[in-house]
């Protein structure tokens, strides 16, 4: 069974899992537009995510994120912010649109990729967030380990899983 022509493909996972980079490559392989919910929130707010957290707080960011997610319509590839799929309404909406794929990164690999976590307001709580979010990420159709793989390799694997030969 291949990917339906109207289906949206959403990538979820923790900070450092490569959602944005893999989604960009997957969108290219599938010939679809890319929606990055964090970039969409930034566009609407006129400021970076870190500044939204600092000036308006996480609840305001999550409200803007919900609006961005609920505006998603296929056929696109969506790079979700790390907490977007953890919202029950967002998850329900995205699962109706098409497959959601959890990019599973280990803590060691995430630290390597994130460095100091500059510009990522929740990076210091990574382990705590993983414990809370993991059961929610497991609602995704597939879980794909990303440690040791390039974004291109992960995107090619996803395309194959979706029944699309890149």
Tell me, what's the pLDDT at 82?
87
For the chain, list the domains and their CATH numbers. 9-161 (3.40.50.300)
Tell me, what's the pLDDT at 108?
82
Q: What is the enclosing helix (H) or strand (E) of 45?
A: helix 37-45
Tell me, what's the pLDDT at 74?
78
Tell me, what's the pLDDT at 129?
81
Tell me, what's the pLDDT at 109?
82
CB atoms within 10 A of CB 30: 20
Cβ-Cβ contacts under 8 Å for 16 (sequence gap 6 or more): 105, 109, 110, 111, 112, 113, 114, 126
Tell me, what's the pLDDT at 118?
57
Distance between CA atoms of residues 23 and 27, nearest Å? 6
pLDDT, mean of each 10-residue run, the chain (166 residues): 79 93 97 96 94 92 96 93 92 95 89 64 68 91 95 96 82
């Amino acid at each position: 069974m291949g990917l339906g022509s109207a289906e949206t493909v959403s990538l979820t996972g923790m900070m450092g899992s490569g959602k944005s980079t893999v989604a960009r490559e997957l969108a290219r392989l599938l010939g679809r537009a890319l929606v990055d919910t964090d970039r969409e929130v930034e566009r609407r707010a006129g400021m970076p995510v870190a500044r939204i957290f600092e000036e308006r707080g996480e609840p305001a960011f999550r409200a803007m994120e919900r609006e961005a997610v609920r505006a998603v319509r296929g056929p696109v590839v969506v790079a979700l912010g790390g907490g977007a799929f953890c919202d029950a309404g967002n998850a329900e909406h995205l699962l109706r649109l098409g497959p959601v794929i959890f990019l599973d990164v280990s803590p060691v690999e995430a630290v390597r990729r994130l460095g100091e976590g500059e510009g990522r307001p929740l990076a210091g709580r990574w382990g705590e967030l993983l414990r809370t979010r993991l059961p929610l990420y497991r609602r995704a159709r597939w879980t794909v380990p990303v440690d040791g793989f390039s974004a291109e390799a992960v995107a090619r694997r996803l395309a194959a899983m979706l029944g699309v030969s890149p």
